[in-house]
């Protein structure tokens, strides 16, 4: 039995902020942002829009696409670094919003790699019999932890959510392999300078961009090769790569390192910026709904984030 993706969904805040509007708030330009990142716009959560509310909207769409009812869901794993509260988990808030009285529900925190961690956990639990259908979500409101006076970081991120439904089925389709990594020696390169047990405040995001870029290209290429080898495939077998949408330069460099043509890479960073744990499922939903990704396609999901954490999954869609 494998965990098969039966439905996908995504959600974005109402407010879209393009680079021109951002240039009125901070010392930057559209040209500067596009040249260095490929980002042209992002969505920013407003009043009443939270990580859990965006996650719920994406979840409703994914469940509907799967042809299921909320009560069919036996497991919710929600990846986020920006939960609504320190506790309870945002997963339990989504559970309540969906009207599910009893199921397994918890959050996973691995920043931008969070969705890959959540997917791997849910896959193991579905194959182990803990649930027949699982809801895996990546959702973030990174705008709430940005320093809006730091032009090197605030231009990079946006808010959003993506979700998918996994069901256990026999056959060729499903998650073929996952590989996850972490190296905490580098946690001072991408972090938030606050927390309940250190400062008692939420804090703001801090990043050493050049160092993160250098590690990202190497780690992502390595883990993509690793997961394809585990699944018994070559890069040439891949129909689509759905990467973490951090930076267009990282996407291009990773594809070149693997010898993959750019037209096989799903890109949404120009529209959504970096939505952390939401970026992979959000990009996946876009490519499924516009018809690029078809049943039977071999797709590879990959991400790297603060910690450092990184991972990948090979999936027969």
Average pLDDT, integer, range 279-303: 98
Residue that is last in its domain, among 138, 169, 200: 169
CATH number for the domain including 234?
A: 3.40.47.10
Range of the domain at 203: 174-316
* pTM for the whole structure: 0.98
- Position 129 scores a pLDDT of 97
Residue that is last in its domain, among 142, 169, 196: 169
Give 228-275 pLDDT, tens digit per residue.
Answer: 999 999 999 999 999 999 999 999 988 898 888 999 999 999 999 999
- Position 93 scores a pLDDT of 98
What is the overall mean pLDDT for the chain?
A: 97
Nearest Cα to Cα of residue 246 among 150, 137, 111, 145: 111
Give 200-229 pLDDT, tens digit per residue.
Answer: 999 999 999 989 999 999 999 999 999 999
Clarify whether residues 256 and 221 are in a common domain: yes
- Position 314 scores a pLDDT of 98
With the CA atoms of 284, 286, 287 and 290 taken in that order, what torsion angle do they form, in degrees rounded to the nearest 10? 160
Clarify whether residues 20 and 144 are in a common domain: yes
What is the set of active-site residues?
112, 244, 274
Clarify whether residues 164 and 255 are in a common domain: no
> In the chain, how many domains are there?
2
Phi-psi region of 111 (alpha: psi -120 to 50; beta: other; left: phi over 0): left
Clarify whether residues 221 and 285 are in a common domain: yes
Give 2-38 pLDDT, tens digit per residue.
Answer: 999 999 999 999 999 999 999 999 999 999 999 999 9
- Cα 35 to Cα 19, 22, 153, 175, 296: the distances in Å are 12, 15, 15, 36, 36
H/E run at residue 2 = strand 2-11
Clarify whether residues 199 and 257 are in a common domain: yes
Give 124-162 pLDDT, tens digit per residue.
Answer: 999 999 999 999 999 999 999 999 999 999 999 999 999
- Position 143 scores a pLDDT of 98
């Amino acid at each position: 039995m494998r965990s098969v993706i039966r439905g996908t969904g995504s959600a974005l805040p109402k407010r879209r902020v393009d680079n021109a509007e951002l240039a009125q708030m901070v010392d930057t330009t559209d040209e500067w942002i596009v040249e260095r990142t490929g980002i042209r716009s992002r969505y920013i959560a407003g009043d009443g829009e939270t990580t859990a509310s965006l996650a719920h909207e994406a979840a409703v769409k994914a469940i509907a696409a799967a042809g299921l009812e909320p009560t069919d869901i036996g497991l919710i794993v929600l990846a986020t670094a920006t939960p609504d509260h320190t506790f309870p988990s945002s997963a339990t808030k989504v559970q309540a919003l969906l009207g599910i009285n009893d199921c397994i529900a918890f959050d996973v925190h691995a920043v931008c790699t969070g969705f890959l961690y959540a997917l791997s956990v849910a896959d193991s639990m579905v194959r182990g019999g803990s649930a027949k259908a699982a809801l895996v979500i990546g959702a973030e409101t990174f705008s709430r932890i940005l320093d809006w006076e730091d032009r090197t970081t605030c231009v990079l991120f946006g808010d959003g959510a993506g979700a998918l439904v996994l069901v256990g089925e026999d056959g060729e389709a499903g998650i073929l392999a996952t590989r996850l990594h972490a190296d905490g020696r580098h946690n001072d390169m991408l972090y938030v300078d606050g927390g309940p047990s250190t400062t008692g405040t939420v804090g703001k995001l801090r990043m050493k961009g050049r160092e993160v870029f250098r590690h990202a290209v190497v780690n992502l290429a390595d883990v993509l090769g690793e997961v394809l080898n585990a699944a018994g495939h070559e890069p040439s077998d891949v129909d689509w790569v759905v990467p973490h949408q951090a930076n267009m330069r990282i996407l291009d460099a990773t594809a070149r390192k693997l010898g993959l043509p750019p037209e096989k890479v799903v890109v949404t960073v120009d529209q959504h910026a970096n939505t952390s744990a939401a970026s992979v499922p959000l990009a996946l939903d876009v490519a499924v709904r516009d018809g690029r990704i078809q049943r039977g396609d071999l797709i590879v999901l990959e991400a790297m984030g603060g910690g450092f954490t990184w991972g990948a999954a090979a999936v027969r869609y």
